[in-house]
């Protein structure tokens, strides 16, 4: 409950108290509304994006990670907020070396002196979830030991539970939260962060990417030492490379910027377009260079995955863009994301046309891949189209790589380098073997449907017997049609009653005239009484019809 209160006060401090009010958090926590009004005057004079960033930074590791996760979602957040979220850093003061060694010993079941020849007590780097120490194995290999912060798991799990509760409240109270399916986003973030807390996942990711480059000596991935690794400790090969933001050392080592930039792009495109499994956070701190323009990638806590279907849709999008086909572009966007039912298709088509025309007849060397990705996300954001998180992560990865390459070699065209990979995707798509596999998969799917049909029919028959089947028929304009039919039937009834009245009265009058006798029956004046009764009936029906308003 104290954590809830911390979050609510942070909402107020940064000018978002109205969100807490709309979610009902003040009533839920029995907080006085004056807290909101009092702090409102103290809101720092920053832009909305800056206040969002400061708000997340104040609330600690889970919320910083949430901001970094959200920075990949250009399809659901505006550009100014994305720009601020990209500045979020989880650099925090390191925890004590005594605590670090205690965790290592508890996890590995032995004292540090017995496990390692050397263990540097001063950490190389510290982040919100863990920190890294240098060391040397008994066998002499230099290593980096990543140690998780004490008690960080419990704190993050508690925050994730709170975030899910807040997302649930938001979807019930706020229309925009329901439209963007905030609960699903938090579930996805929670799954990603929980996986990041298990260092064995990071080790497996590193090995999987290392296997992509077994035959390529130009790419180095640190080796994982599993006998010294657990969920909270990850021991890997230490590679002393040069960080890309250290310009002087790059020059001293004689590293050719142009060659390295091209090799880096080729490395990332191979992961994305060939294997569909890629480094999700390739910022300059996670990329190093070795003499000979070797590319070193580290830190695989965040990775992206592209399924064969998603790669297929990407190739469809590329083909449609090349052929300037708006219909196919919209179809590709629809297959990559989820187009809402209430979308303005006319406006969507117009925006896609603008996107298509912008890149019409433009040489590949002059196209900015980052700008093209931003343009696509701008269209999806405007029309509330939700893209899969891995596709959004791919967009941020491409933008990050482009920013690095522009600094290393401004003349290198990333789009031009992507062209052969795009062609390979298209070849794979139309390869006879691939077509045959798709046909076989569809046949198997339909075979399963047919084989399940008898059981499905039995279940349906059972449901029908129990009277549990409900039909909903929705015919446009049905109410108007029924109203018109009601008017016609009322008018017809009116006409029949009037005709009957006329026939009865005429018959009685003619009969009495022919007989030349009085119309008295059992001393009752029949014509007069009949006239009165028929008149009353006529007036009653007429009143009913007029009262219904459907004459």
Active-site residues, by number, are 281
Rounded to whole angstroms, the Cα distance separating 487 from 479 reads 12
Give the torsion through C-alpha atoms of 417, 420, 425, 430, to 10 deg: 160
Rounded to whole angstroms, the Cα distance separating 445 from 442 reads 5
Beta strands in 39-129, from DSSP E residues, in sequence order: 116-119, 125-126
H helical segments located in 92-133: 97-108, 112-115
Long-range contacts, stretch 153-158, CB < 8 angstroms, 24+ apart: 153/197, 155/60, 155/61, 155/62, 156/61, 156/62, 156/129, 156/193, 156/197, 157/194, 158/3
H or E segment at 316? helix 308-322
**What is the DSSP-derived secondary structure letter of residue 301?**
S
DSSP structure string for 234-286: EEEE----EETT-HHHHHHTT--HHHHHHHHHHHHHIIIIIISEEES---GGG
H or E segment at 148? strand 142-148
Report CA 134 to chain centroid distance, whole Å.
Answer: 38
């Amino acid at each position: 409950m104290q954590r809830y209160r911390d979050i609510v006060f942070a909402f107020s401090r940064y000018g978002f108290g109205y969100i807490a009010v709309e979610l009902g958090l003040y009533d839920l926590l029995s907080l006085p509304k004056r807290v909101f009004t009092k702090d409102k005057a103290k809101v720092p004079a920053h832009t909305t994006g800056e206040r969002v960033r400061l708000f997340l930074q104040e609330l600690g590791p889970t919320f910083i990670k949430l901001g970094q996760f959200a920075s990949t979602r250009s399809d659901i957040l505006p550009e100014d907020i994305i720009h601020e979220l990209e500045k979020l850093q989880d650099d925090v003061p390191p925890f004590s070396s005594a605590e670090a060694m205690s965790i290592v010993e508890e996890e590995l079941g032995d004292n540090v002196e017995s496990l390692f020849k050397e263990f540097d007590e001063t950490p190389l780097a510290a982040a919100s979830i863990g920190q890294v120490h240098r060391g040397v194995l008994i066998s002499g290999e230099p290593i980096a030991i990543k140690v998780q912060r004490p008690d960080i798991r419990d704190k993050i799990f508690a925050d994730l539970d709170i975030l899910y509760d807040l997302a649930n409240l938001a979807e019930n109270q706020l229309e925009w939260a329901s439209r963007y399916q905030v609960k699903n986003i938090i579930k996805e973030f929670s799954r990603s962060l929980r996986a990041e807390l298990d260092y064995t996942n990071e080790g497996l990711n590193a090995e999987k990417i290392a296997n992509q480059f077994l035959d390529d000596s130009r790419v180095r991935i640190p080796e994982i030492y599993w006998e010294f690794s657990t969920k909270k400790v990850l021991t890997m090969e230490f590679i002393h490379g040069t960080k890309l933001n250290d310009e002087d050392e790059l020059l001293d080592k004689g590293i050719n910027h142009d060659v390295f930039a091209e090799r880096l792009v080729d490395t990332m495109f191979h992961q994305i377009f060939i294997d569909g499994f890629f480094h999700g956070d390739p910022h300059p701190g996670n990329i190093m260079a070795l003499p000979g323009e070797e590319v070193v990638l580290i830190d695989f806590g965040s990775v992206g995955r592209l399924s064969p279907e998603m790669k297929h849709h990407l190739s469809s999008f590329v083909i449609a863009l090349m052929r300037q086909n708006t219909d196919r572009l919209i179809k590709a966007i629809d297959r990559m994301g989820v187009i809402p039912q209430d979308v303005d298709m006319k406006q969507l088509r117009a925006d896609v046309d603008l996107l298509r025309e912008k890149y019409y007849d433009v040489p590949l060397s002059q196209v900015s891949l980052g700008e093209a990705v931003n343009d696509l996300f701008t269209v999806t954001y405007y029309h509330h189209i939700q893209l899969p998180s891995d596709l959004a992560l791919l967009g941020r990865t491409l933008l990050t790589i482009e920013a690095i390459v522009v600094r290393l070699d401004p003349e290198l065209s990333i789009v031009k380098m992507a062209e052969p990979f795009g062609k390979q995707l298209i070849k794979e798509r139309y390869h006879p073997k691939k077509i045959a596999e798709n046909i076989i998969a569809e046949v198997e799917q339909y075979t399963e449907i047919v084989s399940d049909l008898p059981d499905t029919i039995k279940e349906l028959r059972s449901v029908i017997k129990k009277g549990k089947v409900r039909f909903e028929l929705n015919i446009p304009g049905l109410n108007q049609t029924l109203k018109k039919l009601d008017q016609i039937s009322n008018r017809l009834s009116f006409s029949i009653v009037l005709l009957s009245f006329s026939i009865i009265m005429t018959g009685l009058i003619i009969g009495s005239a022919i007989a030349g006798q009085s119309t008295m029956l059992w001393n009752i004046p029949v014509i007069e009484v009949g006239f009165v009764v028929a008149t009353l009936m006529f007036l009653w029906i007429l009143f009913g019809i007029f009262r219904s308003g459907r004459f």
